Amino acid sequence: MAELVFYSGTMDSGKSTLALQLDHNHRARGRVGRIYSSHDRAGEAVLSSRLGLSTPSVEVGNDLNFWNDVVGELTSGGRVDYLVCDEAQFYTAEQIDQLAKVADELAIDVFCFGILTDFRTHLFTGSRRLIELADRVLPLQVETLCWCGARATHNARTEDGEMVTEGEVIVVGDVEDPDRPRPLVGYEVLCRRHHRRRMTAARAQAGVLSPDVLPFD
């Protein structure tokens, strides 16, 4: 039976790298797949990893219907054995339902990759629906680290190093890109303690204390 599988992790945990590796492994065994992504750091209609690897993909906008797209490919004489769906946290709940239908009705394996929570620590819509529907939810084994060295569990949005907790959910940025000026909007991973205290790497390096006041005189 085909499965709907959700690989989840924070930023920098190797989700896109694993998606590319999984696609390579299946293609090496003669299987034919379709690759989807959304809001990739490298631009539209591409699946890329921080290691520099990339491959063309189908860009997932809110108007894309996975069921119609796959059925259209099959009825036109194409072959589809599996789907690789990166940045699945950005998909709508209806699109996740469509992916489940593809797995159940067409016997096509669906492998989704994404982040669980946004910079406000709230579940993304696509991730929530995947948790509800997926046959398996698999946390990635590559642990990311907070600036303090502890295991990173939360994604933080920063503006010039200052953490923010309000704004649009989807804003593409990357504080790790050395080939362009530091963006106004960036992201970094933090442990829960420092996410709660809004202590980014920049604040820590500047010696800024936590805004939390200890209950002592």
Task: Give residue-wise pLDDT tens across range 151-193.
Answer: 888 888 888 778 887 766 555 555 455 555 554 788 888 999 9
Average predicted confidence (pLDDT) for the chain: 87
Neighbours of 42 (CB within 10 A): 15
Query: Does the pLDDT of residue 101 top 60, yes or no?
Result: yes
Residue 87 bears catalytic tag: yes
Q: Pairing mode, if any, of strands 109-114 and 136-139?
A: unpaired
- 3, 87, 159, 168: which is the annotated catalytic residue? 87
Give the global pTM: 0.77
Amino acid letter, 111: F
> At a CB cut-off of 8 Å and minimum separation 6, what does 107 contact?
1, 2
Average pLDDT over residues 96-113: 98
DSSP 105: H
pLDDT in tens, 20-52: 999 999 999 999 999 999 988 778 888 988 778
| pLDDT tens digits, one per residue of 121-145 | 899 999 999 999 999 999 887 778 8
Domains of the chain: 4-139 (3.40.50.300), 154-205 (no CATH)
Evaluate if residue 213 carries a pLDDT over 70.
no
Percent of the chain with pLDDT over 90: 55
Question: In the predicted model, is pLDDT for residue 195 greater than 80?
Answer: yes
